[in-house]
Amino acid sequence: MEAEQSQKIVNTGTTTVGLVCKDGLVLASDRRATMGYLIASKDIDKIYPLDTHIGMTIAGGVGDAQTLVRWMTAEMRLYRLKYDRRITVEAAATLLANILTQYKYYPFFVQLLIGGMDEDGRIRLYSVDMLGGVTEEKLTSTGSGSPIAYGVLEELYKEEGTMVENLKIAAKAVTAAMKRDAASGERVDLVVIDKQGFKRYDKNEIKGLIG
């Protein structure tokens, strides 16, 4: 019965990537959601804006992840209203970790990346696990396709590179994962966060970048 119920849960499966660049942050993902062996959706968002300067990628249970997106988005708005300034990326990651820690006995089945650019121009990226563990990263990947993505990232990522340079590397890492991981697929989604804020590339722009 447990196996039957687990197959009914929509899972992002997923490959997500986060890269810190000298001029901003790159986030990338695939677009497939699975339900057991069924492809439940071929066009699901896995990268969300929490504020104009912070984004989050999701991997794991779709319902759990989307609940956390709504929760965090509301918290970001409340922070702005209360303090008349935007929250730092580190504080947002700590808040997310605290939420997950509170529910560790009935956990959210998620693996998350949260990152962005602070008002002082500092670029931060954090990986947050389902029990609230947090690590700051320069490059990272989550989801079932992450071992494949890491092979590309470790070889090609440029820590002092620009977003334009690392966008292609992030796209290549996700594309490689989609070729080998059954739970990752459809197409690449790309987002950058810099001084201008959160920007998602459209399909045609991504095709141009991938070549």
How wide is the angle at C-alpha 170 spanned by C-alphas 167 and 173, nearest 5°?
150
Listing DSSP states for 100-120 in one string gives HHHTTTS---EEEEEEEE-TT
Task: Tell me, rounded to whole angstroms, the distance of Cα 97 from its chain centroid.
Answer: 15
| Catalytic residue of the set 14, 15, 34, 57 | 14
| Residue 103 half-sphere exposure toward CB, CA atoms < 13 A | 15
Give the residues across from 60 on adjacent strands: 110
Q: Which residue has the tokens 């989550």?
A: 142
Give the residues across from 128 on adjacent strands: 112, 134
Specify the DSSP class assigned to residue 131.
T
Task: List strand residue ranges (DSSP E) for the chain, in order.
Answer: 16-21, 24-29, 33-35, 38-41, 47-51, 54-60, 110-117, 123-128, 134-136, 139-142, 189-194, 197-200
End-to-end CA distance of the chain: 46
By the 8 A CB rule, do 98 and 91 touch? no
Tell me, yes or no, if 15 is annotated catalytic: no
Query: Active-site positions?
Result: 14
